[in-house]
Amino acid sequence: MRNKILLIILFTIPFTVVSQNCVEFLSVQRTGIKYPWKYDAQSKAGFFTAGKSSQLNIVCNEGKDFKISFLASSAILKFISISVTDESGKEFYTLGVSESKKKDLDSKKQFMLSLQNQKVNIKTGKKRIELDADINKLTLEINKYQEEVDNATYSPKTFFEFTPAETVNLIINISVNEASTGKGCIGALISNKKAEKSGF
């Protein structure tokens, strides 16, 4: 199902919250939904301050493609955390770097250090050649992971779409870090369309 994920456009709109009308905040972006996509009434927006967290449950029916777009006021954009899971905890989307990716990268870096320490004591021979090959392979893996972490940090994937194989309940968790000094609106703009048939 992960291959069918295309999800969300995180609109980084410079929006100064004056009236705090978060319903209007969502309505403005609704005009960007183009045919064959249709607005889904499960869309919601809310007002968030530092330390605030909230959960939104949405039902995604079989036979439809879904697109979820997250919108956030610029005042809190850098402090928000968003994750989308199903009821079993399977992760569909995370804004920013996932903790598992960070742990994997740290683990690979620690393993690299151990290989380099071994290399100090092995000057020549078959073992040295194997060790060099392992280090080169691990270096490529670490570089790939580091690039993914950097992209997720500085240019986060901000959208996904997916087609559920069966009706699924998604849980969207949104929170704003305590370090935020701003306040503003966060919205989940959901749209859907009839899924295209594949095969004969």
Q: How far is CA 126 from CA 36, 40, 76, 111, 154, in A?
A: 61, 62, 56, 20, 42
pLDDT beneath 50, residues of the chain: 1-19
CB 93 within 8 A of CB 188: no
User: In the prediction, which pLDDT does 88 show?
Assistant: 92
List pLDDT tens digits, range 154-189: 766 667 899 998 999 999 999 998 888 999 999 999
CB 96 within 8 A of CB 81: yes
Q: Which helix (H) or strand (E) holds 192?
A: strand 184-194
Q: DSSP labels for 120-157?
A: HH--SSHHHHHHHHHHHHHHHHHHHHHHHHHHHHHS--
User: In the prediction, which pLDDT does 199 show?
Assistant: 60
User: In the prediction, which pLDDT does 151 show?
Assistant: 77
Nearest by Cα to 84 from 93, 75, 76? 93
* Omega cis (within 30) before 164: no
